[in-house]
Amino acid sequence: MEVILLGIYSFFVWLIFIKLKWLPWNTTSQVTVAIIPIIGLTALILTLNVVAPSSPDVRVYKYTIPIVSQVRGRVLEVAVEEGNRLVHTGDVLFRIDPTPYQFDVNTLQAQLANSEAAMRDLEEQAKGAAAKIAEAEARATEVSAKLELTRRRVAQYSELAKSGAGNRFDLERVQTDVREQQGQLAAAKSAEAQARAAESQIDQKLGARANGEYAQIAQVRAQLEQAKWLLEQTTTRSPCDCYVVNLALRPGAFVGQAALSQVMTLIEADGQVVALYHQNELHQVEAGNEAEFTLDTMPGRVIKAKVDSVIWAQGQGQLAASGTIPVSGFVPPPPGRYAVKFNIAERDRQLFLAAGAAGHAAIYTEHGHAIHIIRKVIIRVGSYVNYLVLKLH
């Protein structure tokens, strides 16, 4: 762009001083003509670096997800291929032989059915024991009432017998009734005690409750849910829209032999674009500013974006907690740069951005709109220069 401006300036100098000779071409005019572009271009570039800062260091970063099998087993199918093929969220990555895990599910389902049936039988027995307790209590209450009445009659007949007005036989009869009813009461209480002992044994067999059901059933159900989960894990699915790399898996392989033994790596499809700027270039940059960037992998293409945020942190500002006092006096490293994160515009969001791709970027602040066009031209010329492959072999 500077060359173009110098060319335009040279044309007007030639036109005014040489062709039309409107002004004399002497030493004074020659010095003036030479100084003007130097001062003008210097001021223009310095201003442009503030109101439309550029960065020669743009990076496309993408998170990677190592895929590790949750279960052990023989691989039956690998449903993806390595390369530039997008795998969507939920797509099958690979399948493991589910047979042993299906056996576990079937076994636990049978155990759960047996446990539920056993609990139902115990509940019926508990109901029967409760009925016997209620019957024994009712019998004891009835006998107690009769015994109380009979004892009163014994007292009455004893008074009559002492006064000679009563019959001795009647007194002996009611005394016999008292002893008989005492035996009935003892038998009723014994039956109640036996029923309560049986109920206690049944309660012990039923056990405590967890989440509204018996602990024994809850335990088997939890084991069954775990077995079902393990069975589901025999089919591994993609957790994101990603690309597959480092695919080290083939049908017949055995996976899950060791913890953290990854079988493939997924690279997220979207990623994020970050440009690094020197510290004094960002004092006019704000979130939402228009931005453009180019990538060496896409010659001739200018990608529109907006500034998401400036990441105001870098490694030189980190002070780790330790027992060592920071040492001063050494030659300091050069000041670190700050990262600016971009949000890609809607029109370019479907572009494939290779992880690790590098390029150039420019941010257009709210100041100096008139000279933003110069930075845009520079960005576009640099993008087309990427078509040149400058090597000798």
Query: What residues are paired with 78 via a beta bridge?
Result: 94
Q: Are 352 and 270 contacting, i.e. CB atoms less than 8 angstroms apart?
A: no
Q: Are 79 and 93 contacting, i.e. CB atoms less than 8 angstroms apart?
A: yes
The answer to whether the predicted template modeling score (pTM) of the entire model surpasses 0.95 is no
pLDDT in tens, 283-320: 999 999 999 999 999 999 999 999 999 999 887 777 77
Phi, psi of 213 (to 5 degrees): -135, 165
The enclosing H or E element of 8 equals helix 2-13
Report all structural domains of the chain as residue ranges with CATH numbers, in order of start.
1-33 (no CATH), 45-62+270-319+334-393 (2.40.30.170), 64-97+234-268 (2.40.50.100), 100-228 (1.10.287.620)
pLDDT in tens, 58-112: 999 999 999 988 899 999 999 998 887 889 999 999 999 999 999 999 999 998 8
Q: Percentages helix, strand, coil for the chain, rounded to the nearest 5?
A: 50, 20, 30
Whether the predicted pLDDT of 1 surpasses 60: no
User: 258: pLDDT confidence band, cut at 50, 70 and 90?
Assistant: low
Query: What is the rounded distance in angstroms from the CA atom of residue 341 to the CA atom of residue 306?
Result: 9
pLDDT in tens, 162-217: 666 666 666 667 677 777 777 777 777 777 777 777 667 766 665 566 566 667 77
Predicted local confidence at residue 30, as pLDDT: 79
**Can you tell me the mean pLDDT for 20-26?**
79
